[in-house]
Amino acid sequence: MLRNIPALLSPELLYALRAMGHGDDIVIADANFPAHRNGRQVIRLDGVSATDVLAAILQLMPLDTFVSEPALTMQVVGDGAAVPEVVGEFQRIVNEVADHPARLGSLERFAFYQQAREAFVIVQTGEQRLYGNIILKKGVIKP
């Protein structure tokens, strides 16, 4: 047991977070996301919401400050300007928990899949809300 680490973060996920370098991406994916088809490494957290996983990861991992959009969500197919409820929650969590607030960017569905293929790891959650997917770019720890 360790202190000050959210209990929902599995040993495999903690290892991946520690192994990631600056600029590496991590995908937090909903239950419908084709994680195993798009990911080199997939860690499953079935039964856990994407919003809870996001909040837990952001307690430990800094967001990249060298890019304008260190957090990206998937656009609604056919309505790229729509903001699903879960995406609004993602923004609130980034504002409240991240080491620095950042405006969420968004990608068209297939562009999101392409970026996910390049990610260090995909975390497949049990999130059932549609479009509950977010990509985070890891930043640096500042002294």
Mean pLDDT per 10-residue interval, the chain, length 143 residues: 90 97 98 97 97 98 96 97 97 96 96 98 98 98 83
Q: What phi and psi values does residue 14 have, to the nearest 5 degrees?
A: -60, -40
Q: What is the pLDDT of residue 143?
A: 79
Q: What phi and psi values does residue 130 have, to the nearest 5 degrees?
A: -65, 145
Q: Is 22 noted as a catalytic residue in this protein?
A: yes
Distance of alpha carbon 141 from alpha carbon 62, whole angstroms: 7
Digit-coded pLDDT (tens) for 41-57: 999 999 999 999 999 99
Q: Is 30 noted as a catalytic residue in this protein?
A: no
Q: What is the pLDDT of residue 2?
A: 81
Mapped onto helix, strand or coil, the DSSP state of residue 130 is: coil
Query: At the top level of CATH, which class does the domain 11-138 belong to?
Result: alpha beta
Q: Which of 24, 30, 64, 131 is catalytic?
A: 64
